[in-house]
Each structure stands twice: as structure tokens, then as C-alpha cells.
Amino acid sequence: MNIKVVVVGKLKEKYLKQGIAEYAKRLSKFCKFEIVEVNDEKAPEKLSAAEMEQVKIVEGSRILDKIRDKEYMFVLAIEGKERSSEEFSTELSKLATYGKSDITFVIGGSLGVSKDVMSRANAEISFGRFTLPHQLMRLVLTEQIYRAFMINIGSPYHK
């Protein structure tokens, strides 16, 4: 299985990089795991609705350039479907069983993702209604992917 996480922006926080690196190392036993960063679009603090949409379009184009047709794509979105860790684990297992072994997760920038990215998505996933920094979501998502594999092998990691 190949799992890719496409994210907008660079990760600067050392503690987040360390956590992600630890889970990525653990994931190497189960899949090929990679994180692909695309540049965020520089924008002033106060934007009109049209300017915000333009930023999302530019970032969305960069995201979509990193995704191949055969990849099953999840977009992380507050309005997406919430899943338990067990449901997520089952979903990943079923995707692999039915030939969807190239799975991509997209974490947009601070303004979200474009309509083009949303329409390309096979599924939307939500980690709840909290707003979390997208840098932190990289760590949370990576841990949950690892947890999914551990659930599927019956490991006591998930309790």
C-alpha cells in the first residue's frame, strides 16, 4: 500500500517534525508513506472573498499536480464525515482489498481547499468540529493512519 499526504505549506515546528518522523518510521513496516509539501500562496492578512477564492485556486492547482488519476483521495475538511478509529481502519483495509492501494490524504492551507480539490476527492474526512492548525493535523493524521494499521493487526496499541 502507498499512502501519501499532500499538504500546503512547510512544517517549521521541530516537535511536530519529530512526532511525524516517529510515526512515519513505524508506518514503514506496513506501507510506503510520504508527505508531499506544496507551497502556500502568500497573501495579506485581510482578503476579500474573491481574493480568498483565488488563493485556494492557486494552492488547489499545486495540490492536484501531485495527485495521479489512480489515487484514492481523502480531503480533510471540517464538514467531512467523522469516523471512529475503528471505522477508519476498516475503510483503509477495504480500500486495499478492493484494489485501491494508492491512497492520498490532502490537508489544505489556512483558507481550506478549492472547489476543484473537493470535486476530485473520493471522500471527505473530518476529525471533528474543532479547528486545528494544519501543521498539527499532519501529526494527528499520521498517528491515526498508524493506529489504523495497528487495529487491523489486532495490536494492543489501540485501547
| CATH number for the domain that contains residue 33 | 3.40.1280.10
Is residue 144 included in any domain, yes or no? Answer: yes
Is residue 74 included in any domain, yes or no? Answer: yes
The helix (H) or strand (E) run that includes residue 80 is strand 72-82
| Whole-number pLDDT of residue 159 | 73
Is residue 159 included in any domain, yes or no? Answer: no
Whether the predicted model's global pTM rises above the 0.85 cut: yes
Taking the C-alpha atoms of residue 137 and residue 143, their distance in angstroms, rounded to an integer, is 10
State how many domains the chain has.
1
Give yes or no for a contact between 79 and 135, defined as CB atoms under 8 angstroms apart. no
- pLDDT, mean over the chain: 95
C-alpha distance from residue 69 to each of 5, 6, 66 (Å): 15, 15, 10
Is residue 147 included in any domain, yes or no? Answer: yes
Residue 64 annotated as binding site: no
Given a cut of 90, whether residue 5 has pLDDT beyond it is yes
Given a cut of 90, whether residue 58 has pLDDT beyond it is yes
Which distant-in-sequence residues (6+ apart) come within 8 Å of 124 by Cβ?
A: 74, 75, 76, 77, 79, 80, 81, 118
Mean per-residue pLDDT, 37-50: 90
Per-residue pLDDT band at 136 (split at 50, 70, 90): very high
| Whole-number pLDDT of residue 35 | 97
Q: Return the percentage of the chain with pLDDT > 70, whole number.
A: 100
Mean per-residue pLDDT, 98-113: 95
Is residue 47 included in any domain, yes or no? Answer: yes
pLDDT tens-digit map of 22-34:
999 999 999 999 9
Sign of CA dihedral 52, 121, 128, 139: negative
Supply the range of the domain harboring residue 106: 2-152
Residue 27 annotated as binding site: no
Is residue 157 included in any domain, yes or no? Answer: no
| Whole-number pLDDT of residue 77 | 93
| Whole-number pLDDT of residue 26 | 97
